[in-house]
């Protein structure tokens, strides 16, 4: 029998042990590391709502619960503080419209308090929303980088003389400078979380041009959202991205509860965008439509968190480092209500400081209303008490210029007109209704052009209509059973039929006057006068001159009539 030397017997044993150790290496082993859970929190369409606002929760069955006060930055800060105690690496992101159309407490100061609050919340990235362009591309860049050179010189750097801009990064992969052919701002950003590189790519709706004043986005081109996201993926992979998350400022709607994961009835522009995305993208965080939903589209998770900070979306995502593989994704929308989490004392102190700086302007009484709130919600025909009031106000402000008709777009009316004790509306409550700082433009349109304007309320055969609010004395009927382009029937002004060849003097805000909200006929108006008058100032003056406004609609005096 041959004897094996002890050294020879030992070598195979050592080799076996070494191989065994490699095969059973735990989570720290690079070759066999298990999936890592990445926690994200998403916000969208905050619109500078630093304070809580009215919110109507949705029951699990889709029905509406009684309205409550929710949202605001203090509630958001408290929730994030609590959740970061569970995971210090939590990643906070946004799908756009952080600012713009903001209440007075933010807009009085060129939205700098909202940017400062987002810095305090450690927001890491946000898709650009259409409202980030409200004051033009120059102001968007100032919000990002800081400084005081602003088109809103009366507001910028008035609260703090040393505005340093956003610590987070605005993203817009589908916005290109036409002069250079290069991206206007970055398309993506990569954040490292628990050793995982998370690529965040952002886009804004391609149709931004129709909802922003043309002068504010001159020289910019807005491309296809999905194409821009897919185009950015190779660069993100080259920079080591293990997983890619899309932040899309475009959305959809569903009748399903915003609190129930797995919704399957989402419809709207976001559905087509998601279906065109590279298969590696499993999570799409959306905005723009102010809806709450937790949906599945083509097997991908698609979320939105309502608006104004009323909800936050919590996301737990399993990711395999280096493999580009996304496993289980769990999502929930969480109501943001004061007192649900321990307060973030630094944020409480900051908001108190902003309130103190704003108090005198915001609390200034304007006028007593007949009843409050005055609602922006439209009846079946498309008419609203608040819309009537604003159309009457801009007409009254420009009658001395020969104006006969006032038009107001529904999207420009951001909130109901609320009031305090004795139904007295304060400046802050009034400003929340018309926060854009739009000015009034007077122009001539003939009767045929006015008819075309009204027909443009229906953008297609299937459109429900984007109804303009019109001033007292002007009325018309419409019939949704007729095809788009011929839905408007009789039109009258002060009881007389509108004449197609006759010229009429009209007033609209500068957004509409440039053809905004898909009303291109306004841009063709002649003999234009840029009055410089703010629509908000017109409303304030009207309320003061007409105490007791804001009564409910009187059916006998309807301005917009739907055919039965």
Tell me the mean pLDDT in the region 143-158: 94
**How many residues belong to the chain?**
564
- Taking alpha carbons only, the member of 123, 125, 100 closest to residue 110 is 100
Residue range 172-206, pLDDT digits in tens: 999 999 999 988 999 999 999 999 999 999 999 99
Grouping H, G, I as helix, E, B as strand and the rest as coil, residue 397 is helix
**pTM higher than 0.85:** no
What is the SS3 string spanning 310-376?
CEEEEEEEEEECCCCEEEEEEEEEEECCCCCCCCCHHHHHHHHHHHHHHHHHHHCEEEEECCCCECC
Give the helix/strand (H/E) hosting 236: helix 225-238
Kindly state the DSSP code that residue 277 receives in the 8-state scheme: S
- Distance of alpha carbon 79 from alpha carbon 183, whole angstroms: 35
pLDDT of residue 473 exceeding 80, the answer is yes
- Structure confidence at residue 27 (pLDDT): 38
pLDDT of residue 552 exceeding 80, the answer is no
Residue range 271-312, pLDDT digits in tens: 999 999 999 999 999 999 999 999 999 999 999 999 999 999
Kindly state the DSSP code that residue 473 receives in the 8-state scheme: T
| Upper half-sphere CA count for residue 129 (Cβ side, 13 Å) | 27
- Structure confidence at residue 58 (pLDDT): 84
- Distance of alpha carbon 30 from alpha carbon 245, whole angstroms: 24
- Distance of alpha carbon 395 from alpha carbon 506, whole angstroms: 8
Token couple for 112? 């700098």
Residue range 319-338, pLDDT digits in tens: 988 767 898 999 999 999 99
pLDDT of residue 97 exceeding 90, the answer is yes
What is the sign, positive or negative, of the torsion defined by CA atoms of 126, 130, 134, 135? positive
What residue spans of 121-224 are helical by DSSP H?
137-145
The widest CA-to-CA distance across the chain, in whole angstroms, is 123
- Distance of alpha carbon 202 from alpha carbon 173, whole angstroms: 6
pLDDT of residue 376 exceeding 60, the answer is yes
Token couple for 353? 């400081």
- Distance of alpha carbon 453 from alpha carbon 559, whole angstroms: 16
Give the helix/strand (H/E) hosting 385: helix 385-398
- Distance of alpha carbon 268 from alpha carbon 26, whole angstroms: 45
- Structure confidence at residue 33 (pLDDT): 65
pLDDT band at 215 (very low <50, low <70, confident <90, very high): confident
Tell me the mean pLDDT in the region 224-232: 98
pLDDT band at 214 (very low <50, low <70, confident <90, very high): confident
pLDDT of residue 16 exceeding 50, the answer is no
Residue 141: CB atoms within 10 Å: 16
| Residues with Cβ within 8 Å of residue 236, at least 6 apart in sequence | 188, 190, 199, 201, 244
Distances (CA, A) of 397 to 44, 351, 475, 532: 35, 35, 20, 12
Give the helix/strand (H/E) hosting 269: helix 269-275
- Taking alpha carbons only, the member of 39, 56, 204, 50 closest to residue 137 is 204
- Distance of alpha carbon 168 from alpha carbon 506, whole angstroms: 43
- Structure confidence at residue 325 (pLDDT): 81
- Structure confidence at residue 323 (pLDDT): 65
The answer to whether 531 touches 406, Cβ cutoff 8 Å, is no
The answer to whether 65 touches 47, Cβ cutoff 8 Å, is no
- Structure confidence at residue 564 (pLDDT): 85
Indicate the pairing of strand 503-509 with strand 405-409: parallel
Name 201's bridge partners.
188, 246
pLDDT band at 12 (very low <50, low <70, confident <90, very high): very low
pLDDT of residue 487 exceeding 50, the answer is yes
Query: How big is the CA angle at 536 (ends 56 and 415), to the nearest 5 degrees?
Result: 5
Check residue 240 and give left, alpha or beta (phi > 0: left; psi -120 to 50: alpha). left
Distances (CA, A) of 71 to 123, 166, 444, 541: 17, 21, 43, 31
- Distance of alpha carbon 61 from alpha carbon 56, whole angstroms: 14
In terms of C-beta density within 10 A (0-12 exposed, 13-18 middle, 19 or more buried), how is residue 1 classed?
A: exposed
**Token pair 């804001």: residue:** 550
- Distance of alpha carbon 141 from alpha carbon 37, whole angstroms: 34
């Amino acid at each position: 029998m041959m004897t094996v030397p002890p050294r020879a017997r030992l070598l195979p044993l050592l080799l076996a042990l070494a191989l065994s150790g490699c095969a059973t290496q735990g989570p720290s082993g690079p070759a066999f590391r298990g999936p890592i859970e990445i926690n994200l929190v998403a916000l969208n369409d905050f619109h500078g709502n630093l304070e809580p606002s009215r919110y109507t929760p949705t029951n699990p069955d889709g029905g509406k619960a009684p309205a409550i006060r929710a949202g605001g930055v203090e509630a958001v800060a408290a929730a994030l503080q609590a959740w970061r105690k569970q995971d210090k690496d939590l990643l906070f992101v946004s799908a756009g419209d952080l600012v713009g159309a903001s209440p007075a407490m933010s807009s009085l100061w060129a939205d700098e308090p909202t940017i400062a609050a987002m810095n305090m919340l450690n927001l890491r990235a946000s898709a650009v929303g259409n409202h980030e362009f409200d004051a033009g591309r120059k102001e968007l860049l100032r919000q990002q980088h800081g400084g005081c050179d602003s088109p809103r010189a009366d507001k910028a750097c008035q609260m703090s003389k040393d505005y340093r801009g956003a610590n987070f990064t605005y993203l817009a992969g589908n916005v290109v400078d036409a002069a250079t052919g290069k991206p206007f701002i970055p398309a993506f950003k990569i954040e490292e979380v628990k050793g995982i590189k998370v690529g965040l790519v952002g886009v804004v709706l391609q149709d931004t041009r129709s909802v922003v004043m043309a002068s504010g986005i001159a020289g910019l081109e807005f491309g296809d959202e999905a194409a821009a996201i897919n185009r950015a993926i190779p660069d993100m992979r080259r920079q080591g991205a293990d997983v890619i998350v899309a932040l899309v400022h475009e959305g959809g709607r569903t009748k399903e509860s915003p609190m129930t994961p797995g919704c399957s009835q989402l419809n709207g522009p976001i559905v087509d965008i998601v279906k065109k995305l590279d298969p590696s993208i499993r999570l799409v965080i959306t905005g723009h439509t102010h809806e709450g939903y937790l949906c599945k589209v083509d097997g991908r998770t698609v979320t939105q968190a309502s608006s104004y900070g009323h909800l936050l979306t919590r996301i737990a995502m399993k990711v395999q480092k280096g493999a580009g593989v996304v496993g289980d994704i769990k999502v929930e929308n969480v109501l943001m209500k004061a007192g649900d989490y321990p307060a973030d004392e630094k944020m409480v102190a900051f908001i108190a400081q902003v309130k103190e700086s704003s108090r005198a302007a915001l609390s200034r009484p304007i006028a007593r209303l007949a009843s409050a709130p005055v609602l922006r919600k439209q009846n079946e025909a498309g008419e609203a008490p608040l819309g009537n009031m604003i159309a009457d106000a801009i007409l009254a402000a420009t009658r001395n210029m020969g104006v006969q008709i006032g038009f107001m777009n529904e999207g420009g009316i951001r909130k109901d007109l609320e009031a305090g004790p004795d139904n007295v509306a304060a400046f802050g409550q009034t400003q929340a209704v018309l926060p854009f700082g739009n000015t009034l433009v007077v122009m001539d349109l003939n009767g045929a052009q006015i008819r075309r304007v009204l027909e443009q309320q229906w953008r297609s055969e299937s459109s429900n209509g984007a109804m303009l609010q019109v001033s007292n004395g002007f009325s018309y009927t419409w019939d949704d059973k007729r095809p788009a382009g011929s839905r408007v029937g009789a039109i009258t002004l002060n009881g007389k039929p509108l004449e197609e060849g006759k010229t009429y003097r009209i007033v609209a805000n500068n957004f509409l006057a440039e053809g905004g909200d898909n009303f291109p006929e306004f841009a063709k108006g002649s003999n234009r006068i840029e009055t410089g008058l703010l629509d908000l100032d017109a409303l304030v003056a009207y309320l003061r001159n007409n105490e007791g406004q804001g009564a409910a609609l009187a059916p006998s005096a309807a301005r917009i009539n739907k055919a039965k």
